[in-house]
Chains A and B, each alone.
Chain A
Amino acid sequence: MKALMSLGALIGVAGLLLLAGMIFNVIPSSTVRLVEGYMPMQMLFELTCFVAGFAGLSYMMSAMGMPLSRFWQGIGFWAFILLYLKYRVYPPIPFSVRAMYGTVSLVAVFMWVSASEEDWKKFKQPIMNVLDAQTGMNKLLRYMYLVLLPILIGGFSYNAMMPKSEEPIELRTVHPAPPASTKVHGKTYTLQTSQNPYRVNPEGKYDQDFTNANIVEQGMGRLMKPNANPWDDKNQGYLKYVREGGEIFFQNCHFCHGDNLNGRGLHAFAFNPIPANFTDPGTIAQLQETFIFWRVSKGGIGLPNEGFPWASVMPPWEQHLTVDEIWKVILFEYWHTGYYPRTWD
């Protein structure tokens, strides 16, 4: 038991040191990267480790005769969560989301400290001590609170009332509902029944299983399958079309969507919302190919009314590309990111 607890304590201390290093920028927060797509799981896992570590730590401390009161445990743990969200998680998450997580964890901490009558009493005790002011130290604290609280709250409300020019919060429809059909270059395409004519097997038949077997491999780098190089001159069919789609992508799309299709192209920094990141599991991976076909053909200008705020700079590509070229680019995007297009059934 003791050994287990000391191991836990060790983890706790190591975690605290790591976090402190990240706060003071000694350790870059990108040291242990959160892996794209697995971020929530990874965070939960890390936090679980820390909880175990802290349990061990507090056990060890009370065993060594320096117990930490429930009051400070609660406050300390909450502060830890806030700092973890701010400094550990990379890429950084916006304040509004952190505030939400912070509130949820505050509630959780409260539930923890008030789990039983006795716990709650233990938690309140330091507060009551200060209120009662039996010792000199507590007296001093009480007067400090008496003076500081009104000043702080007054200051905060002054700050809040100062007119500010902060960016207004903007709601955004990420994937608006598509129309039933779309007309491109004079031909009508029904979204539910249309198929990418280049998603074919060697016999020239539409075949998702075949093409899915030839896309890049998932995992860091997302590299092509060793014997499925689109730049092989002998290619016919699917891989040849992938290459042609790639050529179109790198002549038209990479300026915004980036060389790695991650929305970080040459011009991306200027736009808001920033261009879609196709490597994110939330974009093309959860959409049908025909949905992409509609969005690519019609662009930001073709968004339905509920697709506000209409700030998308996505061109209506039917102006620049033929229908065949659009289908090939879509083929390439799925190949390069290693995602399977969603099907209607």
Chain B
Amino acid sequence: MMDSITQKAGIIAAAAFGVVLVSSAGYSIVSAQGLPEGFKKGDLAPEPSAEMIEAGKRVYFTKCVWCHGVDGAGDGPGADRLWPRPRNFNQGTFKIRHTASGELPLFDAKKPVPGQNDLFETVTHGLPGSAMPPWEGILTEEQRLQVLSFVTTQLVKDRKFTDKQTETQTVLQLAELKAKPATDESKKRGSELVVEKKCVECHGMEGRGDGNAFNLKDDWGFSIQPADWHKCWNFRGSRQDPYNVGNIFRTFSTGVNGTPMPSFADNTTVDERWDIANFVNSLCERDALGNPLPIDPLTDKPKINFVIPSDMVEGEIPTDIGHEAWQKAPKRYVAMGGQITHKPRNFVNRIDDIWVRSLYNDKSIVYLLEWDDRTKSVAEGKLPWAPTQVNIDVKEQDPKTGEEGSIAAHQNNYTVYNDAIAIETAVKWKELPAPIKPRYLFGTNDQFPVDIVKWEADGSLRAFKGTGWDKDFEERDNYEESMKLLKGEWKDGRWYVMIQRPLGNKKDQDYDEDTFFEVGQYIPTVFFAWDGHNGDAGRKMAVSAFFYTFMNPPIPRETYIYPAVIAVGVVLLEGWVLTRRANKKKGKTL
């Protein structure tokens, strides 16, 4: 019933769209006032009061100065180890707005209204994917307005928010534009439009941000990467509501100032923009049923389940991802952070999550690892260190370098190493008394080592033994016979790697060196990932927390028998209670 309604709505919408298309053919898409469709002229907000500005200064020098700097030039003490760098306020260039391309964002110190105060919303919700956190709950509404009063009047130096001579406000009327339902028709039209409007040139054929990944620069000359449409929780303008299609519509309509992302308001109709927004929104990762992933309110990223279940298959484990067994296997989101425990530290990890699935049969277990990486990186020539070496000579970022030496300036200028991924599992995990895991990062010691299986983009698959966080790996001698690389493919901004390893048994494997996998047990598992174009090598990598591999046991027969027995027991109990009650009453009346 619902389906047929939405279908009908889709057909009607499509028909309406056809009419719009025909009627607008040959005209440029601007309204009578010469404004792009969906926009209206707005007024500049009044200047904030001197008290607000003074109070804001105190907020700024407590909270903001550490990254944005004394003069708001985005050069605070934290800036050089961040990418993207903190915003330089001086030019008045702000990314997320409701105003037309090139215009100042909406800000009114007296009106903290959603949709009408861009800067206030940015401070409130933060800019996910960058170091800017949400300040809601930390600063009061008043304090957020105060600090913005200070920033817009004192630190924006090249433009003036109240100057009617130079500034205009052309405001996207997002609240008045009704979202078009995300029908298949609309999404299909959107998928054609992203090609037609050349979105894919930067965002990539699958929208993983891998098109033109090397040449894009922001207004300050720093490398910048196009958004990965599959990670909507990292959209700067997602406003802690990542699956809201309105955010995409807004960004697409207004463009992102200071970046190569233009506004498409002048060459698309509102209807076309909704189609594109619906399509882009549909690409964001969803669960098996197509529902948005649950978002953790504390981190604004998908909720993490630390157990990676592995399903059993009969016979050979399929190598084709499209195979039913893989399609049915539960997919786990593994969040990755930069490795900043050991030198060289990785302050900016370009791989921030991987997706893991697993299957097993009577002999082996297979991990399918998928992750977005905008660049396929294979080292040219021989690497200057042995594969077992962890303590390698890659220089770590100095804390204070100025813009020229900063991490942002290094992007795309690193020596390129191999992309790589590794699965670390605990050896002899059964002897570690629960809940004790091996020591993070490379195992406890010689007695409790870890087993590290590492795949590299040059096609190699190696196994190492880790015996302590500061020890080089020991290479194992028998990996070639027991491990198998089933797949190692990069396509449109995503790696697909499938690694098979034996479950382990005392006959063929060494108990002291190999991880033995057992059904129904929690086996500590950690993932490492390297992005070769980020100069990742050795310990400069992305790391996950401790996960558990859990091989789902086949369902035992007792699962069906006992509940039936219990139910029968309850029926008997009911009979007993009722007879007792009846007897008691009889006794009373007699």
Contact = CB atoms under 8 A, between A and B. Distances in A.
Interface string A285-300: 0000000000000011
Interface stretch (A41-49, A188-196, A308-316): A308-316
B340 A267 contact: yes
Contacts of B297: 91-92
A153 interface: yes
Given A251-B77, A310-B440, A151 B342 contact: no
Nearest to A154: B567
B552 A163 contact: yes
B214 interface: no
A168 interface: yes
A167 B545 CA distance: 14
A157 B296 contact: no
Given A132-B581, A220-B139, A271 B337 contact: yes
SS of A interface (majority): loop
B96 to A, nearest CB: 18
A319 B130 CA distance: 27
B570 A246 contact: no
Contacts of B437: 308-311
A97 interface: no
A308 B439 contact: no
Interface in A238-258: 246-252, 254-256, 258
B340 to A, nearest CB: 6
Contacts of B483: none
Contacts of B298: 91, 264, 274
B58 A310 contact: no
A191 B434 CA distance: 31
Interface in A124-171: 128, 131-132, 145-146, 149-151, 153-155, 157-158, 161-163, 165-171
A216 B62 contact: yes
Interface in B295-326: 296-301, 304-307, 309
Contacts of A313: 337, 341, 440-441, 543, 545
A201 interface: no
Given A153-B570, A165-B307, A309-B437, A269 B553 contact: no
Interface stretch (A4-12, A113-121, A224-232): A224-232
A120 to B, nearest CB: 17
Nearest to A244: B77
Contacts of A153: 566-567, 570
Contacts of A132: 581, 585
B574 interface: yes
A141 B468 CA distance: 65
B520 A224 contact: no
A150 B567 contact: yes
A257 B320 CA distance: 42
B566 A301 contact: no
A301 B436 CA distance: 14
A265 B342 CA distance: 18
A33 B304 contact: no
B291 interface: no
A312 B440 contact: yes
Given A131-B581, A170-B435, A251-B77, A149 B574 contact: yes
A256 B340 contact: yes
B292 interface: no
Interface string A259-286: 1101011111111101000000000000
B131 A254 contact: yes
A205 interface: no
A254 to B, nearest CB: 6
A318 B581 CA distance: 74
A71 to B, nearest CB: 17
B143 interface: yes
B340 A315 contact: yes
A111 interface: no
Given A163-B556, A221-B138, A311 B545 contact: yes
Contact of A231 (B61, B296, B552): B61
Interface in B70-93: 70, 76-78, 80-81
Interface stretch (B199-207, B485-493, B557-565): B557-565
Given A250-B77, A252-B399, A254-B78, A158 B559 contact: yes
A246 B300 CA distance: 26
Contact of B553 (A158, A163, A311): A163
B140 A308 contact: no
A268 B336 CA distance: 9
A299 B143 contact: no
Interface of A: 30, 33, 91-92, 128, 131-132, 145-146, 149-151, 153-155, 157-158, 161-163, 165-171, 216, 220-224, 226, 229-231, 246-252, 254-256, 258-260, 262, 264-272, 274, 299-301, 308-316, 319-320, 336
Given A246-B66, A256-B337, A315-B342, 14 more contacts: A150-B571, A167-B305, A220-B139, A223-B59, A230-B61, A250-B78, A260-B135, A266-B131, A274-B298, A300-B341, A301-B341, A308-B435, A311-B437, A313-B440
